[in-house]
Homo-oligomer: A and B are copies of this chain.
Amino acid sequence: MEKKSLHTLHGGDLDEISRIYGIDKGEILNFSGNVNPLGLPLSVKNAIINNPDAAVNYPDVSYIELRRAIGEYTGADYENIVVGNGSTELISLFIKLILPKKAVIVSPAYSEYLNEIELSGGRAELFPLKEEEEFILDTDRLISVLTEDTDLLVICNPNNPTGTYIDCEEIKKLLIHCRDAGVYVMIDETYVEFSDRDKNVSAIPLVKEFGNLFVIRGTSKFFACPGLRLGYGICSDKNILKSINERKDPWSVNIFAEIAGRTMFADKEYIEKTLALTGRERKRIFETLKGFKNIHVYESQSNFFLCRLKREDMTSTQIFEQLIKDNILIRDASDFPYLGNRYLRFCILDEKSNTLLLNSLKKCVD
């Protein structure tokens, strides 16, 4: 029972861990949450501190300023943007609108896609990324499983928990096929902003051309603000946007999320610092782990890594239990579909913490 709840724990939900292992919450190095270690942008903090009285006003029901800020940031037309209470609300609204009869989900993936599809009366088939292909998507193989009755394809890019990605050109190939076959494509880009700028990961440049594409993004991970509940969706099909707006609670994004959103996307310093830290540490961690004889690490374009234990006499749960003794909290990834009990996921924190993790991990497995 306790083991189960640990597996499914959210990064922010440290109280349970703290209680079970008798560790002070503030002492835990949380590698399981995938949240930017730089913390809340100072600009956002100041915007909130300076505007507490904003709460006496309703948010702008059209969220014009917020959508314009997102437009500036992403390069998308603000009229193609819809905001929501975290990406969760948008995933739910889009699926409830499309009502897919048969969806294909590239997996292993976030369980919420499957839940929402089944809640809406649809059926979902999981399309497995293969370990022997380093969990890199084979676009042609994916296209070959999209049967005539498929009406929705769900991709997380870069993918959670594998960290792997497909680039914009491959996505375009998929989108052309899907458009011709009448398949909607939902791409969850929660982690895309952590990717290297020389990789073309985001599908946003394709939104205008493909009305069957719905791109979803959150702010929780990159801007370190899961408490704000701010997500957005981008789509060029005006009917989809109109229907989503009709169905959603008009003010589901609260005024502090609105204020924060109008601030964070313009905070170039925070964004650059994040990219520099993530890029540098991602490279270092990857190179270090490649030197571990008992760990296989998969290349990542996200702010986390998936690893496989090569030793047959060790499980991910054992490693989890070992590391927590050093106050290090990682994600035992064994409950994701297609991953066995030798998969671990951990995110990139600051340099010092990352070194502690690498050392502890080496001590445990190598």
Contact = CB atoms under 8 A, between A and B. Distances in A.
Contacts of A54: 227
B55 A85 contact: no
Nearest to A226: B58
B250 A229 contact: no
Given A252-B252, A254-B227, A255-B227, A55 B260 contact: yes
Contacts of A57: 12, 226-227
Nearest to A51: B48
A20 interface: no
A56 interface: yes
Interface in A203-258: 220, 224-229, 247, 249-252, 254-257
A53 B10 CA distance: 18
Given A249-B86, A254-B256, A40 B61 contact: no
A44 interface: yes
Residue among A11, A57, A250 with max Cβ neighbours from chain B (10 Å)? A57
A98 to B, nearest CB: 17
Contacts of A56: 12, 35, 39-40, 224-227
A252 B248 CA distance: 12
Contacts of A260: 55
Given A45-B52, A255-B227, A10 B58 contact: yes
A225 to B, nearest CB: 4
14 contacts: A11-B58, A13-B61, A45-B53, A49-B49, A55-B227, A56-B224, A59-B227, A85-B254, A86-B251, A88-B250, A227-B254, A228-B255, A229-B251, A229-B252
- Would you list the 4 A-B pairs with minimal beta carbon distance, nearest first? A227-B255, A12-B58, A55-B227, A45-B52
